[in-house]
Structure 1
Amino acid sequence: MPLPLYLLAMAVFAMGTSEFMLAGLLPDIASDFDVTVGTAGVLTSAFAIGMIVGAPLVAALARDWPRRPALLGFVLVFAATHALGAVTTSFPVLFATRVVAALANAGFLAVALTAAAGLVSSDRKGRALAVLLSGTTVATIAGVPGGAVLGTALGWRATFWAVAALCLPAALGILKGIPAGRDEDEATGRPALRAELAQLARPRLLLVMLLGALVNAATFASLTFLAPVVTDSAGLGELWISVALVLFGAGSFVGVTVAGRLSDRSPGPIIAVGGPVLLIGWPALAMLADEPVALFILVFVQGALSFALGSTLITRVLYEADRAPTMAGSYATAALNVGAAAGPVVAAVTLGAEVGVLGPLWASGLLVAVALLIAFPLLTAITAGRSTEVPR
């Protein structure tokens, strides 16, 4: 695989770290800006909102942009927003930097997915895309807990500086290794933008997008507020937050890996078996949160189940949007980030209830329950190659 591809993956790693890292930094950010942890949690929603809006919008705009300047511009804007976030003393400004960073992230992914395939021969495109997207998985395992450790040792602002610094080698790789022009052959053979957008009128596509959003909302509802569960409910020190995040990230890697081998051929069993177990896991985690061993085991299990079920549903989005080759990724990204935006908001509301910091765990269970109530009556339509209960 060419070196520029790995440097693009480094940018994806930095962006993935940025998207998920607030799970370990919220208490310090809340204290620094004198806001509640629930209020600080909307920073996660801010990033997700930027991705929701930016994924389809920037994907549409970037269809005809030259790759090198587009990728370079997105990476530099992303780095600049984190530098500004690291120095600001205004919470609204920090909120705004999260939105702009997400727009840059969405634009980068829209162009990088095509550019990565163009760096290799046609029979190696799948491997190239796997290398690029591995940056996100590595972010959940190493980047997020590493950011939490750095934030604990040097303050949350150091983590923002680190993310900005990670973008610089990627920018150099783009300048040295990405062709400056457009791929005219690819542009000639693709559908018109209007035809790709028309796919959003298909009920089955909207259904799997909704289910993916609900499962991801459940994931982010608890992940965003995992730090106070570790320190308050379990009574552990701040460094144990990083341990919990590593376990969640390791679980997500296992879940994505296993689901990746099965979701193409057998999505039904993943949803039918993984969904109910995931549903049981969230309230179990809430009830056993004061037992550190049980807490860490369940964090790993829930990470695996959440990403296995979520990635399977997002794979179905890509299948349902196969007639929108340049926009399908943005539809999947939008579905994921609708959940990432809604989950922390729902969870923040529960923090004021009697259950306190355990509220987000109960909220996650409720969100998964809603998804399963919708999914099971329509499971055949969701996973089949043809429409049954849900028409096209």
Structure 2
Amino acid sequence: MPLAVYMLGLAVFALGTSEFMLSGLLPPIADDMNVSIPQAGLLISAFAIGMVIGAPVLAAATLRLPRKATLIALITAFGLGQIAGALAPTYEVLFASRILSALACAGFWAVGASSAVAMVAVTQRARAMAVMIGGLSIANVLGVPAGAFLGEHLGWRSAFWAVGGASAVALVGVVTLIPRIPLPAEKPRLKRELSIYKDGQVWLQVALVALAGGGVFCAFSYLAPLLTDVSGLSSGWVPTVLALFGIGALLGTMLGGRIADANLFGVLFSGILASTVFLAVLAVFAGTAAVAVALSFLVGFSAFYTAPALNARMFNVASAAPTLAAATATAAFNAGNAFGPWLGGTVIDADFGYRSPAWAGALLTLAALVLTYAALRWERSTSKPSRPLMHSPNVPSPNVPSANAPSALNDDPSPANAVAGRPE
């Protein structure tokens, strides 16, 4: 595996840490910026909105641009966004910096994923994507808790400076290690790929991904105040619990990726149902610290256990558009990662307390479960099974683990990548 692919994985570590680290920094940001915790939570939604817009737009806009130069420009813009966040004098400036960072993040994913698979043989594409997307999983296990730790001891701005430093290291690596990557011989036809948006199944899957991710991140975004104000834990426990969520996410992704090939809808039903139950139980028993900590791990596991299947079905129903399929899945996840924190903040503002985001999240995942049943009925009502995903160098999806996932309803034995969103 080329060293350049691992450098892309390091860049993804920085991207993923920035996307999710605010879940452990909301209280100090709210205090420093003189805003409420729900208002601070909108910073998570701001990043997700930038990803929703940036993923499909930049995936299309950069199709014919030089890969290396585009990567350099995007990781530079991302790093500048972190510096702007660290120096932000007002909430409004911080909000704008999150949108800038998200747009650069979405674009880097689109170009970085296609670059990773272009640098290896066809038989190593899955490994290349696993290395790159693995950076996101490591961000959940190490980067997000480290950001919370820095915020606790050195102030929340230090976490932004740390991600900015990681971005600078990634920039040096891109400049020195990424080779010149030729553009595909056959240019993608954007007009043809846009035609997938006429398919109702694509929009049903967009809604399903958004609700499944949004439900989890509705609760996860306000996990820190839940642990301190309801469970009675000290703020020093927050990084540890976030690390447990990340470990659960990593394990869930690995297991879900192995099972989804053989039983896609089985994974969807069991994983989304488990998330619904875990969120409801968290809302009821959040006052017991041990239960809240254990459920944080379980919610991370169940949420990312479904990620391979959610991604695979998006590729199946949008298989005519390999360039936009992954970008659409990413945008859908981040749509949920934008709506979820907003809804969580809304119910907190309505004086329902810090348990209420878990209740609201459970309702969203319950709705996702209903859509899963509708998707299964629609799938079975068609005369032909979903088409398997065609191999393509354009597979940019940071929140889902499968680059080349087959349909659950055919006999294609090709493996799905098991790497873990939105949500973000």
Alignment length, in residue pairs?
386
Q: Out of 164-173 and 223-232, give the one that drifted further.
A: 164-173
Q: Does 1:204 align with 2:205?
A: no
Equivalent position of 1:142 in the other structure: 142
Q: 8 Å contact 2:252–2:305 — kept in the other structure? A: yes
Q: 8 Å contact 2:49–2:334 — kept in the other structure? A: yes
* 1:303-318 correspondence runs (5 A): 303-318=300-315
Partners of 1:252 and 1:17 in 2: how far apart? 14
Partners of 1:102 and 1:193 in 2: how far apart? 23
Partners of 1:247 and 1:315 in 2: how far apart? 26
Partners of 1:195 and 1:363 in 2: how far apart? 38
Partners of 1:133 and 1:176 in 2: how far apart? 21
Equivalent position of 2:367 in the other structure: 370
User: Deviations for 1:322-379, whole angstroms, at most 9, x for unmatched residues?
Assistant: 2112221111110100000000011111103453011100010110111112222432
State the SS of the aligned residue for 1:356: coil
TM-score after normalising by structure 1 = 0.95
What displacement does 1:274 show? 2.4
Partners of 1:259 and 1:386 in 2: how far apart? 28
Q: Does 1:253 align with 2:250?
A: yes
What displacement does 1:47 show? 0.3
* 1:43-82 correspondence runs (5 A): 43-82=43-82
Report the aligned-residue RMSD. 1.7
Q: Does 1:38 align with 2:38?
A: yes
Equivalent position of 2:23 in the other structure: 23
Q: 8 Å contact 1:41–1:345 — kept in the other structure? A: yes
State the SS of the aligned residue for 1:145: helix
State the SS of the aligned residue for 1:120: coil
* 1:1-392 correspondence runs (5 A): 1-180=1-180, 182-185=182-185, 189-381=186-378
User: Deviations for 1:288-329, whole angstroms, at most 9, x for unmatched residues?
Assistant: 111111111111111111111244212211222221122211
What displacement does 1:3 show? 1.3
After superposing on structure 2, the runs of 4+ consecutive aligned residues of structure 1 that deviate more than 4 Å are: 382-388
Give the AA of the match of 2:280.
P
What displacement does 1:217 show? 0.4
What displacement does 1:181 show? 5.0
TM-score after normalising by structure 2 = 0.88
What displacement does 1:276 show? 2.2
Give the AA of the match of 2:249.
S
Q: 8 Å contact 2:269–2:372 — kept in the other structure? A: no
Give the AA of the match of 2:120.
V
User: Deviations for 1:257-283, whole angstroms, at most 9, x for unmatched residues?
Assistant: 111001122112112222222211111
Q: Out of 284-293 and 173-182, give the one that drifted further.
A: 173-182
Structure 1 59/268 Cα, relative in aligned 2: closer, same or farther at 3 Å?
same
Give the AA of the match of 1:53.
I
Aligned-pair identity (%): 38
Give the AA of the match of 1:59.
A
Structure 1 377/202 Cα, relative in aligned 2: closer, same or farther at 3 Å?
closer
Question: Please, which runs of 5 or more residues in structure 1 have no aligned partner?
Answer: none
User: Deviations for 1:110-167, whole angstroms, at most 9, x for unmatched residues?
Assistant: 1111110121122211111110110111111111011111111101100000001101
Q: Out of 169-178 and 223-232, give the one that drifted further.
A: 169-178
Structure 1 382/358 Cα, relative in aligned 2: closer, same or farther at 3 Å?
farther
Partners of 2:234 and 2:291 in 1: how far apart? 17
Structure 1 382/297 Cα, relative in aligned 2: closer, same or farther at 3 Å?
farther
Partners of 1:350 and 1:231 in 2: how far apart? 18
Give the AA of the match of 1:289.
A
Q: 8 Å contact 1:381–1:387 — kept in the other structure? A: no
What displacement does 1:287 show? 1.0
Question: Please, which runs of 5 or more residues in structure 2 have no aligned partner?
Answer: 386-424
Partners of 2:353 and 2:271 in 1: how far apart? 28
Give the AA of the match of 1:111.
V
Q: 8 Å contact 1:316–1:382 — kept in the other structure? A: no
Q: Out of 354-363 and 337-346, give the one that drifted further.
A: 354-363
State the SS of the aligned residue for 2:355: helix
Structure 1 274/384 Cα, relative in aligned 2: closer, same or farther at 3 Å?
farther
Give the number of the structure whose residues are more often helix, by fraction.
1
Partners of 2:370 and 2:344 in 1: how far apart? 20
Partners of 1:138 and 1:194 in 2: how far apart? 37
Partners of 1:383 and 1:270 in 2: how far apart? 17
Partners of 2:356 and 2:15 in 1: how far apart? 28
